[in-house]
Structure formats: C-alpha cells, structure tokens
Amino acid sequence: MRFGERLAAAVSRYGPLCVGIDPHPGLLASWGLPRDASGLERFALTCVEAFGGRVAVVKPQSAFFEAYGSRGVAVLEKVISGLRDSGTLVLVDAKRGDIGSTMAAYAAAYLTEGSPLAGDAVTVSPYLGFGSLRPALEAAAASGRGIFALALTSNPEGASVQRAAGPDGRSVAQSVVDEAARANAGAEPLGDVGLVIGATVGRLDLDLSDLRGPILAPGFGAQGGTVGDLRALFGEDLPGVLPASSRDVLRHGPGTASLRSAVDAARRSLEM
C-alpha cells in the first residue's frame, strides 16, 4: 500500500493525533534520566512502548538523537524499528533539503527500503525550490513512503520567506501547496505528499482545495495550538490534518501508563 493509503487507514482506526518523541534535555531531566545516550535510550524506548499501537503516527525528532552522535542515531534506528514492528506509522522529523546527489543521498537514508533510518515518511524542506525534492519524491514513490514538505511554519522568522510573493503573485507557501497538489493528482483517499503547516500560524491565506494530501500541524497542545485554532485555520480541510503534540504528552512521563493516559486525553480532545 502507498503511504497515503496506510495513513488514511491508521487515522480511521486511531484518530488523527500525531505524537512526537522529542528527547529534549529538559525532559530527560524531568524524567530523572541522565543527559547522555543512555538516558536518551531509556526515554525513547519508553515512548515506543507507550505509543506503539495506540496512535496513527509517531514523529521522532531526529535532531535530539543526532545531538548524541553515533550512539544517538543508533537509538533513533531502534525507535523507528520498534514503532514499525508495532504497526505504528513513523514520520521521521529530519527536515532535509538539498540539491542533486546530496538530496538523493538523503532520500536513500530516509526513504529507501532497507535503510535503518527509513520510517514511513520524512519531513523535507522545499526552500531550495520544490524541484530539488525530486529525488525524495521518486524514492518515496518507489518504496511506498511519503514526504511532508514545509509550507507555512509557526516560527516568526518563517513569514519573511513563506509569505513573500513570487513573480506570479503567489506566496512562496502557496507555490509549495500547488506543487504538492500536482504530485498528489488523482490519488485516493490521500496522496503521499503532505505539508507542514503550524497550528499556531494565526492565519492561513492558502488555497488547499486541490491538495489531496495530509497536513501535519505541529504546535497542538503545549505550544498553544487548540482545537479551535485547528478549526479556524483549516475549516473543511480539517479531516486531512494531523495535529502534532509532543511535550504536552511527554511531560507526563516517565511512566508508560501516565503517557498512555495523556495520549488518550489528547485523542479525545480531537474528536470533532
């Protein structure tokens, strides 16, 4: 099955919540864990145990693993493997983007069958031009995986680029939307090319009507995004949105039971 098909089935079963695994040093400390690779591993594998088979998508943030060097990347590989073994979709939040052979190498790492870093999808940056993502699009299509391209992010610096108008009058973010829609043309029930649009961007100013793909909406929960914000932003496009919550769930650790209770509460809040 294509990624979009697997995602639609997972959302139908578990609801749209995406839970992040963000092993921030402050969270390791609050869990009583050392800020080293051993603490990282205990934190991350506890999350795998708590979230696997309970939500549609889990999103490990690659940077927090890379910070510990090769031992941290080895833990990320265990997280991806453990979640996939549980039947849970894995979105690796790596935000990779480059040109030519370098982008092809990123695609081989995150989107190619047999790579230990390949989940079910990966976040990518289109800000070297959407065409620079072609190796990732091709690798995803060949392996039945997906990509989520940054479109409109909630960090204040993003607006100067993403909301800027191009030569044809469209915003840069709208051009990303339109390219994703072109890649998803004809896909049912969902395409394999998703977008990242922050839950706290305030206003959308985007035409998503032809997208036919999923939208990852980070910032739900601790970063201030609410169900009301999601409704106001996405309106009739809301059924294709994956609200992402990380620290609002993770702060309930280190017990797996309390983490699962937090996940269940977040899922219930999204029953619209």
pLDDT of residue 76: 98
Segments of the chain scoring below 70 in pLDDT: 222-224, 272
pLDDT of residue 227: 84
Terminal-to-terminal C-alpha distance of the chain: 28
pLDDT of residue 239: 82
User: Rounded to whole angstroms, how far apart are CA atoms 106 and 96?
Assistant: 7
pLDDT of residue 8: 97
Q: What Å distances lie between residue 128 and 124, 207, 218, CA to CA?
A: 11, 22, 22
pLDDT of residue 214: 97
Longest dimension (CA), the chain: 54
Kind of pairing between the strands at 215-218 and 241-245: parallel
User: Rounded to whole angstroms, how far apart are CA atoms 55 and 263?
Assistant: 8
pLDDT of residue 91: 98
* Catalytic annotation present for 95: yes
Q: What is the Rg, in whole angstroms, of the alpha carbon atoms belonging to the chain?
A: 18
Tell me the three state secondary structure of residue 262: helix
pLDDT tens digits, residue range 206-228?
999 999 999 999 988 766 678 88
Which residues, at least 6 apart from 249, have a Cβ–Cβ distance to it below 8 Å? 19, 20, 221, 259, 262, 263, 266
Confirm if 13 and 56 have CB atoms less than 8 A apart. yes
How many whole angstroms from its chain centre is CA 123? Answer: 6
User: Rounded to whole angstroms, how far apart are CA atoms 218 and 129?
Assistant: 23
User: Rounded to whole angstroms, how far apart are CA atoms 111 and 63?
Assistant: 18
pLDDT of residue 19: 97
Of the candidates 201, 206, 217, the one whose C-alpha atom is nearest the C-alpha of residue 173 is 206
The one catalytic residue in 35, 95, 247, 252 is 95
User: Rounded to whole angstroms, how far apart are CA atoms 56 and 63?
Assistant: 22
pTM, 2 dp: 0.96
Provide the angle, in degrees to the nearest 10, between the axes of the packed helices 37-51 and 256-269.
50
Of the candidates 149, 85, 148, the one whose C-alpha atom is nearest the C-alpha of residue 116 is 85
